[in-house]
C-alpha cells in the first residue's frame, strides 16, 4: 500500500492510508523530522485523525524531500511507515 499523492491548483497533499480500531495515532515527518504546526513553512496537517499532509504553494527549496507518516496503535505496539519522495520542480 502506498501513500496517495495529488497536486491540485498549487496544493500538494499526501494521505496516510491507515485505518484501525481503536483509531491509530498518525505522525508526519519530513526528512526524518517530526512535522508540527510551526516546524515547516507552508505545511499543515488536516483531515480525520491527522491523515492528510497539505503543502500549500510548494517551493522546491522548502518542500522537496522525503515524507512519511508513522502509524501507531497503543493496543498492539507496532508501527507502519509509508514513505514518499517529493522533488518539486516548478
- Are 24 and 48 spatial neighbours (Cβ–Cβ below 8 Å)? no
pLDDT digits (tens, 9 = 90+) for 33-46: 999 988 888 899 98
Residue 28 pLDDT > 70: yes
Q: What confidence category does residue 3 fall into, taking pLDDT thresholds of 50, 70 and 90? A: very low
Residue with cell 509509508: 82
pLDDT number for residue 85: 72
Q: Which long-range CB contacts under 8 A does 42-51 form with residues at least 24 apart?
A: 47/15, 49/23, 49/24, 50/16, 50/26, 51/15, 51/16, 51/18, 51/26
pLDDT digits (tens, 9 = 90+) for 54-89: 888 777 677 888 888 888 887 765 556 667 777 666
pLDDT number for residue 33: 93
Q: How far is 31 from 34, CA to CA, in rounded Å? A: 9
pLDDT digits (tens, 9 = 90+) for 5-23: 545 556 778 888 888 888 8
Residues across the chain: 90
* β pairing state of 11-15 and 25-30: unpaired
In CATH terms, the fold of domain 4-86 is Immunoglobulin-like (2.60.40)
Amino acid at each position: 500500500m502506498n501513500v496517495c499523492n495529488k497536486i491540485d491548483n498549487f496544493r500538494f497533499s499526501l494521505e496516510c492510508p491507515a485505518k484501525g480500531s481503536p483509531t491509530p495515532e498518525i505522525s508526519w515527518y519530513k526528512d526524518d523530522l517530526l512535522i508540527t504546526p510551526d516546524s515547516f513553512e507552508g505545511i499543515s496537517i488536516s483531515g480525520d485523525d491527522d491523515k492528510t499532509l497539505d503543502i500549500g504553494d510548494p517551493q522546491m527549496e522548502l518542500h522537496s524531500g522525503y515524507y512519511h507518516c508513522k502509524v501507531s496503535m497503543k493496543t498492539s505496539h507496532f508501527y507502519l511507515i509509508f514513505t514518499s519522495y517529493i522533488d518539486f520542480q516548478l
